[in-house]
Chain A
Amino acid sequence: DTEVTQTPKHLVMGMTNKKSLKCEQHMGHRAMYWYKQKAKKPPELMFVYSYEKLSINESVPSRFSPECPNSSLLNLHLHALQPEDSALYLCASRTLSGSTDTQYFGPGTRLTVL
């Protein structure tokens, strides 16, 4: 299994809603990432988890709350978002052992905040 899955594929939410994005991988990767990508722009790193611990938070607003319940799952909890948070949210993972540093990306969740 060389796949990173993300659910849902699309999400529309209001500014007062609470929702969660989910990411799953079964490749044994111990590093997992959340990226935000606006149209026609490169992905921007948001969070990095290493061995299920948050290692990097790129000054992301607190309305985004990541969670890594186990080595296969990564969640992103959303609360009180703004319309400018509408974007494609990408999850990625990579191994922390061996020589390769390839990040495997999921298909993304297209988020629209009304």
Chain B
Amino acid sequence: KNQVEQSPQSLIILEGKNCTLQCNYTVSPFSNLRWYKQDTGRGPVSLTIMTFSENTKSNGRYTATLDADTKQSSLHITASQLSDSASYICVVRNSGSARQLTFGSGTQLTVLP
């Protein structure tokens, strides 16, 4: 069964600090992995997308890594800001099936001043 597990479930950090969120998946066959940011009561917004051959990708203060061998990904946030407070969802796409996206349960990040 395709699964995406994220850790930690929630995280509280101080403004300006760095943090790393984890995503483990068992989706197969793998197509790509995406990190979304979802503000409370809003729709998810795509931050990064990574395919099998990509190890790391950055989008401003967000850096995602992918280890396709161990089926793990991380999202590193540098110099956090209050506006980073949101849920971060890892979504893995598998190829060869119409039901293609498997969502993780998300990590709820709170950045305090």
Measured between C-beta atoms, what is the minimum distance from A112 to chain B in Å?
13
User: Quick check: is B43 within 8 A (CB to CB) of the other chain?
Assistant: yes
Report chain A residues within 8 Å CB of B93: 101
How far is B108's CA from A92's CA once the two chains are assembled, in angstroms? 22
User: Quick check: is B78 within 8 A (CB to CB) of the other chain?
Assistant: no
A56-B98, A56-B99, A101-B93 given; A41·B43 CB < 8 A = no
Report chain B residues within 8 Å CB of A92: 43
Instruction: Tell which of B13-21, B44-52, B59-67, B68-76 binds the partner.
Output: B44-52
A59-100: CB near B (< 8 Å → 1, else 0) gives 000000000000000000000000000001011100000000
Report chain B residues within 8 Å CB of A88: 41
Measured between C-beta atoms, what is the minimum distance from B87 to chain A in Å?
8
Q: Count residues of chain B with CB under 8 A from any CB of chain A.
A: 21
User: Range of interface residues on chain A?
Assistant: 20 to 34
B43/A90 in contact, CB under 8 A: yes
Question: DSSP class of A's interface residues: helix, strand, loop or mixed?
Answer: strand
Measured between C-beta atoms, what is the minimum distance from B48 to chain A in Å?
11
A101-B93, A102-B49 given; A107·B104 CB < 8 A = no
Measured between C-beta atoms, what is the minimum distance from B11 to chain A in Å?
14
Q: Which residues of A contact B (CB under 8 A)?
A: 4, 6, 40-43, 45, 48, 55-56, 58, 88, 90-92, 101-108, 110
